[in-house]
Structure 1
């Protein structure tokens, strides 16, 4: 009898026409979009702070962090509140997503490495890609995305791990 394949659960969301995913275990909750409290002199992708159950959580425009155009708020825009393990601490972050879809399982053997194009490029945030019927899902390596030496976020938002997901998905 063959051993069962190992599977991991991911929350899928879109930024424009592209589909991304993060591990379900880092997602604390999914909130409707509200404009955050602005923080002066922060990086352009840091939109500000949002109160999440008594904790000030930095809200990130993930589109800007990935070099895409700024998010334009729609009725489907959501904030994924994440607890991201980085080095010896946990960062509480709110990521703005154009739309949140669902929790999906991916088998380990479905996850491919970031594409090799023969030169170095900003793919270090890609933990892997999963082929779908139409296109791909990019799994984001959150620890890498928010732990580079130039990241103002590496010094913000330490919090505790969440226990579940509360969704406000339309």
Structure 2
């Protein structure tokens, strides 16, 4: 019994430090040049701050924190990728910082493998899969899981601070 081949993943590729990452192109709303970032006191390090996207307050995340990477100062290539991410079943608009945005490409479903449990420098639950393209690897982060993990903690912190302030 043969099953039909899976459709390729339409992916936006972006660079964080020296690694190539891919996010689902269908969930990308827009790509922005760096905009002013409002810092949030007591927010987890992962939350770079809040940005204004067409009058809407949007949290901005720095995935480099989650992946234990250096965080160089932004430069002319730095972009903000505004996405719709499913967090705990709720579609949520969030931005992620990218050192550079490359292109939209197809990643063949057959070339995407699960993240290995050993030999990874990142927590495997934060990686949806690893694709191959042009002899290199493309990391596909599990953004829903990353944001759920961090979002629950930051929402809990905000709520407890709210209570202690009253």
- The alignment's TM-score, normalised by the length of structure 1, stands at 0.81
Greater percentage in helix: 2
In structure 2, runs of 5+ residues without a counterpart are: 159-166
| CA gap 1:154/1:10 in 2 versus in 1, 3 angstroms | farther
- The alignment's TM-score, normalised by the length of structure 2, stands at 0.83
Over the aligned positions, Cα root-mean-square deviation in angstroms equals 2.4
Q: 1:151 & 1:75 partners in 2: Cα distance?
A: 32
Q: Report what 1:45 is aligned to.
A: 46
Contact 1:19 1:138 in 2 (8 A): yes
| CA gap 1:20/1:6 in 2 versus in 1, 3 angstroms | same
Q: Report what 2:86 is aligned to.
A: 85
Q: How many residues are matched?
A: 154
Q: Report what 1:115 is aligned to.
A: 116
Structure 1's consecutive aligned runs of 4 or more residues displaced over 4 angstroms after TM superposition are 2-5, 153-156
| CA gap 1:87/1:132 in 2 versus in 1, 3 angstroms | same
Determine which structure has greater relative contact order: mean sequence separation of CA pairs < 8 Å that are 6+ residues apart, divided by chain length. 1
For the pair shown, the structure with the greater C-alpha radius of gyration is 2
| CA gap 1:50/1:130 in 2 versus in 1, 3 angstroms | same
Structure 1 residue 84: deviation in Å? 0.2
Correspondence list, 1:117-136, <5 A? 117=118, 122-136=123-137
In structure 1, runs of 5+ residues without a counterpart are: 157-170
